[in-house]
Structure 1
């Protein structure tokens, strides 16, 4: 009688429990059938939760480093019902992404991104759609000046607007997130053909939406949805996220509409223009991959990734030179020696500014901004003595590469000497891969490198950045980043003191 009362009182709980037991039985029976194959080693999974009880959901990347010490550079974890193969350390990650690039080229069907993009776009699509869209995107970016003198001029122009904004605080404290405006505007220039005033309502709305989406993507509740998507009806975080994404899509659709109204084949001003023109050009093709959903998804991918990564890296760079004022002074002295008075540093100047270049690289290495983006095996794959079935999620841990003690003298310390030889000359390091490797590497790598150098050098040429009154360098927090889709610094203030 007590059991009957419990069942009647908690019907939803009983249903959930039955569903979990059912899926668990299917999963583990499948595991027994695959036991003849030699999967990489790993901890024994528990029913239903797999190895989730062993993970720090907020810092999965650090959890993976601990597993690697016990199981080696290639191991298997169970995220709920899903098997995941993890690759750690420079050698294993490079081997997979460079020597097995076709085998590890796909993306797994991550539930939240399936809900958002439905297999479209640049980042989470696969097959011919991905190849065609990525190839077109890279060609369009080059045509729009990415990595060339044209975009360098736009970056330096944007630097002027950023400096005006910082000067408006007159040395008073302001939030590090104010540095997001300039890199975001460069992305919007490429995507939409125009920059925004920093107080423009559409610009502010986009900044707010991007911030909210990135925070929601890092939520433990969203991870839970990805692990158990069939429980989505009872969860709420992914629903809020999808509403925010739709708000961004509304703005993107407006730009696509405007582009269609005044498209000019001889003057394509933006990535949106290029996509619309390509869609019209391919209208009569039997299979037009540039349909509306793919157009919106591709722009959405670049709105999110193209703004968050560079903007957050710039925040970290300013925070780190505040933390280490002696490094800031050394950069400023190098700028003084290389850059003519009354001029801004150019991208070409980085060749004569090895210390500044080393600091920027060390910022990217130290912060491990994007710990990993999952891949998926496109075919049954034999890798390093193990068998990885087709369709298996694979995590190449970029954090493990950027902190690999075999390649970095002091991996857990901020040390620009990692990129300098004994004579103070800049040294490239093969284990420096914040942009990933292989055919899925970052599309905007050349643009990001140019932006980071020009914005960072220009800001330090104009200002000295200090902690707010009442704080010292010791009070600045580097150890507990805010986990969003990327690893952001904790919200902190800075003061910009104008230099003569």
Structure 2
């Protein structure tokens, strides 16, 4: 019986401590839903579609709000203006990295993605230098990607997309990065693919490096920051009918490619993906090489295909398809 009393008293103290810690910080942080003791707001987040949950909460609490994932507060930034203001205008302050207990234990605090502070700066400089130097020697990185693309074509062995490829590149040489500036529709398609699939809806959490005042809210040093990239990539003011795949989102009235500040599939600011340049090169060379050599056809009527990306927690991936490759 005494053991039961001790357990009840201990649990009560733990609950009171949890309530006190949450209430003591809520007045300074951005508004948000009332958290439950210990578990916080976890029950209000759909683990299968975190991005949708954040969108629904932003409709109630605005573009900057606080969630408790357990007993620790996390500030959520929703929409282009809030994300830009934090990651670009105040990039240094928001360049920290949130805590990841399991990955941190595995990586032992190393790696350009999860590190923070001076160690992150050193690793990022080293990573960027390595990527720039990766192509030095007898063959550049572009040559290597071209070779991989040709190998992929051999293993797999008309759209407007293909018409532009055949007009600019032809059929007797491999695509190269110099071609991209003459291929606005291809560039628009590649951008729209990345915008539409929204691969990493909430990016990797950031953290503030010092106590900071943001939009009249006080955010203590070390507070985790979640940025909703979905809210930027699917902003209807910038991209009409954002749930529809439309390369026209990146074309002006004369058919020329137009950049958009809302295009953030690799995040933005000081913690933007270090491999963004390499990834864009691979996407361009692989896709143009494939479509230079093949017509693609679905095994079923394209009208019945559901192209809606499947949200699986922190990652959003396209559904599985079967497709036929016909030599051009």
Q: TM-score normalized by structure 1? A: 0.61
- 2:47 paired with 1:26: no
Q: Give 5+ residue unaligned stretches, structure 1.
A: 8-13, 168-327
Q: Which residue of the other structure, out of 274, 278, 298, is the alignment partner of 1:443?
A: 274
- 2:302 paired with 1:473: yes
Is residue 98–residue 437 contact of structure 1 (8 Å, CA) maintained in 2?
yes
Q: Give 5+ residue unaligned stretches, structure 2.
A: none
Q: Which residue of the other structure, out of 231, 238, 249, is the alignment partner of 1:418?
A: 249
Shift in Å, 1:482: 5.4
In the alignment, what sits opposite 2:120? 130
Q: Which residue of the other structure, out of 150, 165, 168, is the alignment partner of 1:338?
A: 168
State the distance in 2 between where 1:381 and 1:66 align.
26
Could you say if the C-alpha distance between residues 140 and 21 of structure 1 is closer, same or farther in structure 2, counting changes exceeding 3 Å? farther
In the alignment, what sits opposite 2:186? 356
Answer 1 or 2: which has greater helix percent.
1
Answer 1 or 2: which has greater strand percent.
2
In the alignment, what sits opposite 1:493? 322
- 2:41 paired with 1:85: no
Could you say if the C-alpha distance between residues 361 and 461 of structure 1 is closer, same or farther in structure 2, counting changes exceeding 3 Å? same
State the distance in 2 between where 1:361 and 1:387 align.
36
Could you say if the C-alpha distance between residues 64 and 485 of structure 1 is closer, same or farther in structure 2, counting changes exceeding 3 Å? closer
Shift in Å, 1:20: 6.9
Shift in Å, 1:115: 1.9
Could you say if the C-alpha distance between residues 19 and 459 of structure 1 is closer, same or farther in structure 2, counting changes exceeding 3 Å? farther
Is residue 482–residue 490 contact of structure 1 (8 Å, CA) maintained in 2?
no
Q: Which residue of the other structure, out of 202, 207, 228, is the alignment partner of 1:376?
A: 207
Could you say if the C-alpha distance between residues 21 and 86 of structure 1 is closer, same or farther in structure 2, counting changes exceeding 3 Å? farther
Shift in Å, 1:480: 5.0
State the distance in 1 between where 2:9 and 2:246 align.
53
Q: Which residue of the other structure, out of 389, 399, 404, is the alignment partner of 2:235?
A: 404
- 2:10 paired with 1:42: no
State the distance in 2 between where 1:19 and 1:378 align.
34
In the alignment, what sits opposite 1:211? none
Shift in Å, 1:454: 0.8
State the distance in 2 between where 1:79 and 1:472 align.
44
Shift in Å, 1:473: 0.9
Secondary structure of residue in 2 paired with 1:429: coil
Is residue 24–residue 81 contact of structure 1 (8 Å, CA) maintained in 2?
no
Secondary structure of residue in 1 paired with 2:49: helix
Shift in Å, 1:484: 6.3
Is residue 96–residue 209 contact of structure 2 (8 Å, CA) maintained in 1?
yes
In the alignment, what sits opposite 1:152? 142
Is residue 355–residue 416 contact of structure 1 (8 Å, CA) maintained in 2?
yes
How many residues get paired? 324
Secondary structure of residue in 1 paired with 2:97: coil
- 2:67 paired with 1:111: no
Secondary structure of residue in 1 paired with 2:131: helix
Q: CA RMSD in A?
A: 2.3
Residues 424-483 of structure 1, C-alpha deviations (whole Å, 9 max, x = no match): 000001111111111111101111111111111111111111222xx2113323225152
Shift in Å, 1:19: 7.9
In the alignment, what sits opposite 1:225? none
Is residue 87–residue 394 contact of structure 1 (8 Å, CA) maintained in 2?
yes
State the distance in 2 between where 1:160 and 1:115 align.
40
Residues 200-220 of structure 1, C-alpha deviations (whole Å, 9 max, x = no match): xxxxxxxxxxxxxxxxxxxxx
State the distance in 1 between where 2:279 and 2:12 align.
47
How is 1:454-465 mapped onto 2 (pairs within 5 angstroms)?
Answer: 454-465=285-296
Secondary structure of residue in 2 paired with 1:452: helix
Could you say if the C-alpha distance between residues 358 and 136 of structure 1 is closer, same or farther in structure 2, counting changes exceeding 3 Å? same
In the alignment, what sits opposite 1:186? none
Is residue 466–residue 496 contact of structure 1 (8 Å, CA) maintained in 2?
yes
Secondary structure of residue in 2 paired with 1:58: coil
Secondary structure of residue in 2 paired with 1:400: helix
Could you say if the C-alpha distance between residues 155 and 20 of structure 1 is closer, same or farther in structure 2, counting changes exceeding 3 Å? farther
How is 1:248-397 mapped onto 2 (pairs within 5 angstroms)?
Answer: 329-371=159-201, 372-397=203-228
State the distance in 1 between where 2:24 and 2:36 align.
17
State the distance in 2 between where 1:162 and 1:420 align.
30
